[in-house]
Structures are given as C-alpha cells and as structure tokens.
Amino acid sequence: MKLYLIPGLGADARMYEPITSLDDRDTEVLDWFVPFPEESFADYIERFSKQIKTTEPFAIIGTSMGGIIAVELSKILQPEKVIIVSSVKQRKELPHFIRIGKYISLFRSTTGRFYNGVNRAIVKILRLRSEKKFLQLALDMSQDADPGFMKWAIEKVMQWDNKTYPHNIVHIHGTRDTLFPIFYIKDCIKIKGGTHLMMMEKSEEIIKIILKEIDGN
C-alpha cells in the first residue's frame, strides 16, 4: 500500500525522513503549493488531491495542518486509512486561541511575513519541550516557508469548521503538545511526553504505530 505523507504548515519532506528512508515502503511526500488568488479551501483540497494516484490502495498520513488536509481529502477520496499526528480531527479540538481568530478582523489585514513570524515564534515556544536538534530543523523549515502561503493557510485553519471525520482515522497525539493541547483531543493514541514536534523527536515510536495500523497487525 502506498503511503502519502503531508507535512505540517511551514514544514517539508525533511520531517518525514525516518519514514521515507524505509526500504520496504512505498512512500511519497506531497508538496504544498501556493493557492490561487481568493481560492477557497475546498478548491485547494480538490487541486491537492490530484497528487494522489487513486487506482491503487493508499493511505494518507498528515502531521499538524497536514492532518487537517488529510481529513479533508478523505471526504473526496477513499483512502484505506487516514493517520494524523499532532493534529486535530474537527474544529472543537482546536484550542480557543486559534478558534477565536475566525472572529478577529485584524488577522485579515496582516501580511504574510507577519504569519511567518508567528510561525517561527510558535516553534521557539515549542523549544521549551523539544530537543535542540529537532527545534533547529523546525526553524529551518519554517524559514523556508512562503509568506503568502503561510497567511492563507493559517487563516484557513482559524476558519476551519469541520464537524465530521472518517471512520478509518487513527489519531496519534502527544501528551505535551502545547499547540494542540491533549485536553481538547478525543479518541487518540497518546504518546507519553510527546510534543508538537514528536514526528521528529519520537519517530521510531510513531512509525511502529503507523506500520502496525497500516499492516493491520
């Protein structure tokens, strides 16, 4: 079964190297791309889905915002399994400080570079619970992110109003995630001590869970 991997916002294929380096797995990291002007989230998801070959069995794995994309893709595709890591399945799992952004017009007038700065600030906050080498990788990926895309994507997360998720979803979440606190998360596999960067920090433990779910063992 092919595994399609979706990085988090401001991240890229580097975060999935422990999975893509497995010799016995067919994997592909899906690329973020800049949305068209005024493109809706639904239209973006439709274009994003074209990267997936649906003529063979496949699973979608998404981390952070990549998990939100995975949930949305499951509505128009038929993956064998959807696995999200350090993410949310529905709006009520978002923390209040993100949900409230939907109603604050200030965010709509800010620039993409502002959002890049916000993203880097969030990563630096995460350093309180993350190993230095993984923090640096997260900062490097964040630095490379397109400012215009960051603005669009963060606004879409704040506006995301999803209430449903697929029956075949597996949610893996860390007990020390400060961006998406475990307090708001329901029905998940808990990773003790896992932070929002645990896809890199605890990759061995998470990969074991992913492969077990994919193989049905």
28-59 pLDDT, tens per residue?
999 888 899 888 999 999 999 999 999 999 99
Q: What would the pLDDT profile of 126-143 be if each residue is shown by its tens digit?
A: 544 445 555 555 555 555
Residue 62 CB contacts under 8 Å (≥ 6 apart), including other chains = 5, 6, 68, 69, 70, 71, 82, 83, 84, 85, 87
Residue closest to 15 by CA, chosen among 142, 152, 162, 191: 142
Average pLDDT over residues 194-199: 89
Average pLDDT over residues 145-150: 73
Q: What is the pLDDT of residue 136?
A: 55
Task: Give SS3 for 120.
Answer: helix
pLDDT for 197 beyond 90: no
Sign of CA dihedral 139, 172, 66, 30: positive
Q: What would the pLDDT profile of 154-168 be if each residue is shown by its tens digit?
A: 888 889 999 999 999
CA distance 74 to 49: 10
Q: What is the pLDDT of residue 102?
A: 64
**Residue 194 CA: distances (Å) to CA of 86, 176, 203:** 9, 5, 10
Domains with residue ranges and CATH for the chain? 2-215 (3.40.50.1820)
Backbone φ and ψ of 121, nearest 5°: -65, -40
Amino acid at 80: E
pLDDT for 202 beyond 80: yes
